[in-house]
Chain A
Amino acid sequence: MTALPFPSASQPRLIWGVALALAAILWLWGQTLAPFAFDYPKSWQIPAARWIGGVITWLVKEAAIGPLAFSDVTRFLADLIDAPYSLVLSLLSTGLLSGEGSSAVQLWPPLPWVAVIGLFALIGLYAGGLPLALTVTLCMGFVAIFGQWQSAMVTLASIIVAVPIGVLGGLLLGIAAWRMPWLDRALKPLLDLMQTMPVFAYLVPILILFGFGPTAAIVATLIYAMPPMTRITTLALQRVPSEIHDLGRMVGCTPRQMTWRVLVPSAREPLMVGVNQVIMLSLNMVIIASMIGAGGLGFDVLNALRRLDFGAGLEAGLAIVALAVALDRLSQALARRSRTEAPHGTLVQRHPYLTAALALIAITWTLGLIAPALQTYPEAARLTTSPFWAALVEWINLTFFDMLEAIKTAILVFLLVPVKRFLLSLPWLAVVALLGLLGWRLGGWKLAALTTSLSLLIAATGQWEKAMITVYLCGLSTLFALMIGIPIAIAVANRDKAWTITRAVIDTLQTLPSFVYLMPVVMLFRVGDFTAMIAVVAYAVVAAIRYTVLGLQGVDPRLIEAGRAMGCTDWQILTRIRLRLALPEILLGVNQTIMFALSMLVITALVGTRDLGQDVYIALTKANPGNGLVAGLAIAFIAIIADRLIHAAAERQRAKLGLGGTA
């Protein structure tokens, strides 16, 4: 940074004034003088799509490690994943089969539904006592009563396989990144890519490499669901207080003991947020996974919505939520459960839960052979609310459509359309230059180089217009999500009851496939940007709330007490102490809100937006992985630029305020 020092404090206004004036001049009068600044000339474009397409073809068809073709390696990995998956699936859904397909003979039935609910309840009882046991029983009971059992077990099988791999992989990567800062730096853009690159962009290569079916779906799920775990692991380890490091060193820990016995356990709270995110995001992929052969609840949702059977879609969607809630609460409780002294006695006395579980399985399996109702949930006892939802949607449509249309039109005309027109009218040259300037002012020449080159690449691959629509859609949605999310988080963070309810709501929002509420929204608001924005905000607000609450709850209560003792008002405590100390998590939340918003582009493409997400979708259907990946990369670039600029701005702000810390 010695080569290009920051300008002194009196200059910035001047620099910005000149830069903005130049940009405005170009914007207003440049159209005729320098048309190339508006429409990136075709002859300057980089044929990136063709290059990437070529690389993919090579990777899939030619690449080899020694005598092994790359695709053989991936097929081997697929078999590795497939083995536990088949085992779990036969336990939960298909039973032990001899042979394949329709000629297969069932040697032994799958676990009866009563047994599965019983097992969930037992684990709940073991991990969190009676209340937890009741919660999970209710969740699983809901699945059975609404007739979703079969599909839910297929989905559960893939989740049971995907989540441990995701958590462990994320944890190990996160620890490695924490140990080696260079890896952290290298990993960051990769994680951004994994989370923002729409799944459709790499679906075709994955299908070819891993084969068609549940395994490919699990791989795609892992790519999407692992990054939050990695990120949060690194952040959590960085924030372990130095006293704990000292303690570890004093008692003579080896580096391995230090990591696994001292640091990871002491970072348990934030790590559990990571686990929660892996579970939630895995279940979020259920819909897309079902498009490539994973079946299960995702397929039921899609199928119901194709028939416009909102009720059936909602029931299948809520079954996904019920699974998510049950799994999440169980994993949280298991991690919190402190190790107790092992009781003495006989084998049975020492393992009461295991004994009960085995007894339960044995009894229900045997009884299931006699009483089929115990084996498979009886058809006659199923509930459905489908007609009610159809009637409700129709009633809202007939009663409120005109009012909703007026609101929508107002927002469109006064906010969305002007912002979109403005962004689209900007010359790319000026935007790239301003981004560079902003990068330089906030983070020096390195950041400037990054923002300039990435934004230039978007223009150079001929995606400027689509990228601007993406920025408009996701930018406004992120703003809305933050404006809604952060106040809610502040309101509920320190109120246990309110937080429990809020958590249930945001878990629902995150795991209920957006498709389920998107179609009724389409009925009321038609396809287009407004509908897309509703979907994006509903999904992204989850990240804003969750991370802000995490940060606020982590604030040391003694500091708040100290503030109160010094006579701070509630407002001062909030703004001067709580929010400020929670800033690292809130920033992570902003980052994740942007990532979530961008990751929803896959879904918004399905309600007819014309952004980069749509390009990815088109590329999928034309089996053109090159185009898809280029559009996917552009989305990731937008995410990286936004993230780095926000981060640098926050760092500068902190430096100005004299706050230490590097998180």
Chain B
Amino acid sequence: MPRTLRSTLRPLGLAALIASTTALTAMAQESTDPIKLTLHDWTGQLITTQLMGEVLKKAGYSVEYVQADYLAQFPGLEAGDLHVAMEIWETTGREAMDASVATGNVEILGPTGMQAKEEWWYPTYMKELCPGLPNWEALKDPACAEAFSTPETAPNGRYLGGPVTWGGFDEERVEALGLPFEVIHAGTDAALFAELESAYQRQAPILLWIYAPHWAPAKYEGEWVEFPTYSVECYNDPAVGVNPDLAYDCGKPFGDIWKVGWSGLKDKWPGAHKAITAFTIDNAEMGAMITEVDLNGKTIEAVVADWMAANEARWSGWIAQ
């Protein structure tokens, strides 16, 4: 098993390397290599990452942004090719994150402070056709389901779910709660919002998966459906919840958005590790910044610079030793 030998030797080599660099430059104890932060394709994540990047730059670190797919990035983090991922959502990334953490090469760097909310959502004008909303039981009414239907799904209602990759257990939810709805998966986030935009322009019926922080709840007027509150037991134990025979008879979990990093981070850049762990921001702040970028057409750089100027005390606290 040459591999086992190699993998035991590798940390030793790394330790030796660190020891020698520390001996040489006693002042700057940390590596001057760039810290690689991953960029995904949604605005909120770009803002969070660039905020973190700017803060690290202020602390004197070299920073590099690498574009990467949300889920395909994990092998990169495990191998140390990538170092920090700023937004892993409890709701969509938990499985991949746990699998990655289990390898021992990736660690969670604490919550970002933002809360991911994901749930069924409808534009306000739909309340006229389905007056019982936002209570989920209104959706059981056949007339209401009909109002949300399209020729392909009639007489069932049509619920546009997120990409299958987001998970979410909507098929299970529909079955467990006995909703006369058909779950259609959008495939991508862009397709999801393209449909919403189209329906909203025509004031046409639509019921879909919306998540926050995002620009959509700011741009479109609407509400989340209120399902029975989520609990771990509701997902795992059929006996718990409205339907005694099936699990998933409740709403979606609301959860933290996590920061995740390569395990080597804390040895290679201990100060950066501290700063990243200390980073927090809340939904309201992030929502406002996303709106600035996506709806008011500002550049991400400008929005990030504004935040940096306005919150100097906060971020200096993160990088103070």
What residues of chain A have their CB less than 8 Å away from a CB belonging to chain B? Answer: 61-62, 64, 67, 69, 99-104, 203-204, 207-208, 211-213, 290-295, 299, 302-303, 305-308, 394, 397-398, 401, 405, 409, 412-413, 515, 518-520, 522-524, 526-528, 604-610, 614, 617-618, 620-623
Q: Are A519 and B191 in contact (CB under 8 A)?
A: yes
CA of A213 to CA of B75, assembled, Å: 11
CA of A526 to CA of B150, assembled, Å: 10
What residues of chain B have their CB less than 8 Å away from a CB belonging to chain A? Answer: 1-3, 6, 32-36, 39, 41-43, 46, 53, 57, 61-64, 66-69, 71-76, 79, 81-82, 95-96, 99-100, 150-152, 160, 163-165, 184-191, 193-195, 197-198, 201-202, 204, 215, 294
CA of A608 to CA of B186, assembled, Å: 5
CA of A54 to CA of B294, assembled, Å: 44
Partner of A100, one of B6, B62, B95, B194: B62
Contacts of A618 in B (CB 8 A): 164-165
Q: Are A291 and B68 in contact (CB under 8 A)?
A: yes
Question: Given that A293-B66, A523-B194 are known contacts, is A102 also in contact with B57, CB under 8 Å in the complex?
Answer: yes
CA of A303 to CA of B175, assembled, Å: 35
Q: Are B64 and A308 in contact (CB under 8 A)?
A: no
Q: Are A621 and B152 in contact (CB under 8 A)?
A: no
List 19 contacting pairs A-B, 8 Å CB cutoff, sorted by A.
A69-B3, A102-B53, A208-B79, A212-B76, A394-B201, A397-B202, A413-B151, A519-B191, A519-B194, A526-B198, A527-B187, A527-B195, A606-B163, A608-B187, A614-B164, A614-B187, A620-B165, A623-B71, A623-B96
- Return A276 CB to nearest CB of chain B, in Å: 28
Closest to A608 in B: B187
Contacts of A104 in B (CB 8 A): 34, 62
Contacts of B64 in A (CB 8 A): 100-102
Contacts of B57 in A (CB 8 A): 102
Partner of B184, one of A103, A413, A528, A614: A528
Q: Are B43 and A307 in contact (CB under 8 A)?
A: yes
Contacts of B43 in A (CB 8 A): 306-307
Closest to B167 in A: A621
- Return A61 CB to nearest CB of chain B, in Å: 6
Closest to B216 in A: A308
Contacts of A102 in B (CB 8 A): 34, 53, 57, 61-64
Contacts of B41 in A (CB 8 A): 299, 302-303, 306
- Return B68 CB to nearest CB of chain A, in Å: 5
Q: Are A100 and B197 in contact (CB under 8 A)?
A: no
Q: Are B72 and A61 in contact (CB under 8 A)?
A: no
Q: Are A204 and B75 in contact (CB under 8 A)?
A: yes
Partner of B191, one of A69, A412, A606: A606
Contacts of A522 in B (CB 8 A): 190-191, 194-195, 198
Q: Are A308 and B197 in contact (CB under 8 A)?
A: yes
Closest to A288 in B: B69
Partner of A69, one of B6, B46, B99, B201: B6
Contacts of A291 in B (CB 8 A): 67-69, 72
Question: Given that A101-B62, A291-B69, A294-B67 are known contacts, is A397 also in contact with B201, CB under 8 Å in the complex?
Answer: yes
Partner of B193, one of A204, A308, A617: A308
Contacts of B74 in A (CB 8 A): 623
Q: Are A207 and B32 in contact (CB under 8 A)?
A: no
- Return B160 CB to nearest CB of chain A, in Å: 7
CA of A357 to CA of B63, assembled, Å: 36
Q: Are A308 and B76 in contact (CB under 8 A)?
A: no
Partner of A306, one of B34, B72, B152, B190: B190
Q: Are A212 and B68 in contact (CB under 8 A)?
A: yes
CA of A187 to CA of B34, assembled, Å: 43
CA of A195 to CA of B61, assembled, Å: 43
Q: Are B33 and A524 in contact (CB under 8 A)?
A: no
Q: Are B82 and A398 in contact (CB under 8 A)?
A: no
Contacts of B215 in A (CB 8 A): 307
Q: A100-B62, A208-B75, A618-B164 are in contact. List 5 more A-B contacts (CB 8 A).
A: A211-B81, A212-B76, A213-B76, A308-B190, A609-B187
Q: Are B188 and A607 in contact (CB under 8 A)?
A: yes
Question: Given that A208-B75, A519-B191, A620-B72 are known contacts, is A527 also in contact with B186, CB under 8 Å in the complex?
Answer: yes
Contacts of A401 in B (CB 8 A): 198, 202, 204
CA of A398 to CA of B35, assembled, Å: 48
Contacts of B35 in A (CB 8 A): 101
- Return B274 CB to nearest CB of chain A, in Å: 19
Q: Are A103 and B71 in contact (CB under 8 A)?
A: no
Contacts of A398 in B (CB 8 A): 201-202
Contacts of B152 in A (CB 8 A): 409, 412, 528
Contacts of B189 in A (CB 8 A): 306
Closest to A386 in B: B297
Q: Are B79 and A527 in contact (CB under 8 A)?
A: no
Q: Are A293 and B68 in contact (CB under 8 A)?
A: yes
Question: Given that A99-B62, A398-B201, A623-B71 are known contacts, is A308 also in contact with B185, CB under 8 Å in the complex?
Answer: no
- Return B111 CB to nearest CB of chain A, in Å: 22
CA of A429 to CA of B184, assembled, Å: 30
Contacts of B76 in A (CB 8 A): 207, 211-213, 293
Q: Are B294 and A523 in contact (CB under 8 A)?
A: no
Which 7 interchain pairs have the tightest Cβ spacing? A101-B34, A212-B76, A103-B62, A101-B62, A621-B165, A523-B198, A608-B187
Q: Are B34 and A100 in contact (CB under 8 A)?
A: yes
- Return B4 CB to nearest CB of chain A, in Å: 10
CA of A142 to CA of B312, assembled, Å: 41
Question: Given that A100-B62, A299-B41 are known contacts, is A622 also in contact with B72, CB under 8 Å in the complex?
Answer: no
